[in-house]
Amino acid sequence: MTKLNWGMIGGGEGSQIGPAHRLSAGLDGLFSFVAGALDHNPEAGRCYAQKLGVASDRAYGDWREMLQGENAREDRVDLVTVATPNSTHFEITKAFLESGYHVLCEKPMTMTVEEGEDIVRIARKSGKICAVNYGYTGYSLVRHMKAMIARGDLGKVRLVVTEFAHGHHADAADADNPRVRWRYDPKQAGVSAQFADCGIHALHMASFVTGQEVTKLSADCASLIESRVLEDDAMVNFRMNGGTVGRLWTSSIAIGRQHGLTIQVFGEKGGLKWMQEHPNQLYYMPLNGRLQTIERGEENLSPEADRATRVTIGHAEGMPLAFANIYTDLAEVIGAQKEGRSVDPAANLYPKSEDGLRSMAAVAAVAKSGKEEGAWVDARPPMFR
């Protein structure tokens, strides 16, 4: 496969998610990191990109300069990752898609449902990929969970229970910490804080593993640190289009919880449980059977799981390798487009702009339902109703 050119916007020195993207994109030798506008401070961005090996003429001061610079080149980047703060995702993603680039955008894809619909339309019109980084769906055993459910191991899925609850904003003193405060301020964060930041990972995971879409939801949102305007805790009940009932808890004040993403699926013939902090084990309980631990890398897993695993059983694979599976999928799809060959259908598991839009509709629905004391609200984007 041709090695692809990759560029990044955001993810500057000291950023949280930038290093994970660089590790993931570089892991399988499918992408070369050749361009970047990495920082809100142009000089810091240029310096850091060069420190990471980007040539000086492609170490850009800002994303507009990068777009102009890359447009002028024959060897322009094939894929751009947008890892800037949320409020900038829409304009950057839109601009790059419209100029004919494939984009992997961090979540949340946009700030509003309308912007999300725009991105879906633009991506469809341009024929370019707009992926959204629900990177936890790249884990081998999450893909195995999806495969087991699709082949009927659980029978009809009755219930999905998912959580993304951590305790990292639990200190009341953080109410005045500028690095935390903005997240709970509607002027900067939009209509939702914790659900838009973490809850959407859990909700997307529920759709990914069950193959069903969320149709409606009812939310109880709370600001447990009282000075916060937006929620730091939410309990969301939802329904899916295949008849599955869903429960989701998300929190940022759950002291003692670290990352806290877990998913359990209960069907008529069995149950499954997976936890992001222990991603190399999947727990399977067949009805009237015995609890089984499925290990990542063991024999006779699904092709989807095998394709998403690199090291042998008993050696932990973690988050950057899960993200790398999203990059591997994208490399296959982009490579096939460039080379005019058919795409390996197994690469079609990466999250798409339609998923990003569904999340934005869920965010809007949670905010509305939360304000209306848990009223059930349509959670589908208007363009998919």
Ligand X SMILES: NC(=O)c1ccc[n+]([C@@H]2O[C@H](COP(=O)([O-])OP(=O)(O)OC[C@H]3O[C@@H](n4cnc5c(N)ncnc54)[C@H](O)[C@@H]3O)[C@@H](O)[C@H]2O)c1
Q: Which residues bind ligand X (CB under 6 A)?
A: 9-12, 15-18, 37-40, 62-63, 83-86, 88, 106-107, 133, 135
Name the residue among 10, 110, 196 with its Cα closest to residue 21. 10
What is the distance between the alpha carbons of residues 269 and 348, in angstroms, rounded to a whole number? 28
Kindly state the smallest distance separating residue 285's Cβ from ligand X, in Å. Answer: 28
Which residue's C-beta sits nearest to ligand X?
A: 12
In the complex with ligand X, the residue whose CB is nearer, 205 or 301, is 205
Distances 64 to 53, 70, 71, 93, 340 between C-alpha atoms, Å: 21, 10, 11, 12, 30
CA distances from 103 to 208, 263, 334 (A): 20, 28, 11
Q: Which is nearer to ligand X, 218 or 251 (CB)?
A: 251
| End-to-end Cα, the chain, rounded Å | 39
Which CB atom, from 205 or from 294, has the smaller least distance to ligand X? 205
Write the CB contacts of 73 (distance below 8 Å, at least 6 apart in sequence): none
Question: At its nearest, how many Å lie between ligand X and the CB of residue 153?
Answer: 28
Q: How far is the CB of 323 from ligand X (least distance, A)?
A: 8
The nearest distance, CB 108 to ligand X, in angstroms, is 7
CA 200, 205, 211, 212 dihedral sign is negative
Closest CA to 16 of 135, 175, 131, 163: 135
Q: How far is the CB of 235 from ligand X (least distance, A)?
A: 22
Smallest separation, CB 141 to ligand X (Å): 17
CB of 16 to ligand X, least distance (A): 3
Residue type, 103: V
CB of 332 to ligand X, least distance (A): 20
Cβ neighbours of residue 75 under 8 Å, at least 6 residues apart?
Answer: 5, 34
Nearer to ligand X, 90 or 249 (CB): 90
Rounded to whole angstroms, the Cα distance separating 53 from 8 reads 13
Residue number, 42 or 374, with CB nearest to ligand X: 42
Do 190 and 234 meet the contact criterion of CB atoms below 8 Å apart?
no
Q: Of 133 and 244, which CB lies nearer to ligand X in the complex structure?
A: 133
Q: Tokens 């631990």 — which residue?
A: 293
Residue 243 region, left (φ>0) first, then alpha (ψ -120 to 50), else beta?
A: left
Helix (H) or strand (E) segment spanning residue 247: strand 245-251
Q: Which CB, 86 or 140, lies closer to ligand X?
A: 86
Residue pair 70/6 in contact (Cβ under 8 Å)? The answer is no
CB of 135 to ligand X, least distance (A): 5
Q: Is 188 helix (H, G, I), strand (E, B) or coil?
A: helix
- Tell me which DSSP letter residue 181 carries: H
Cα separation, 131 vs 353, in Å, equals: 6
Q: For ligand X, give the closer residue by CB, 39 or 117.
A: 39
Q: Which is nearer to ligand X, 107 or 146 (CB)?
A: 107
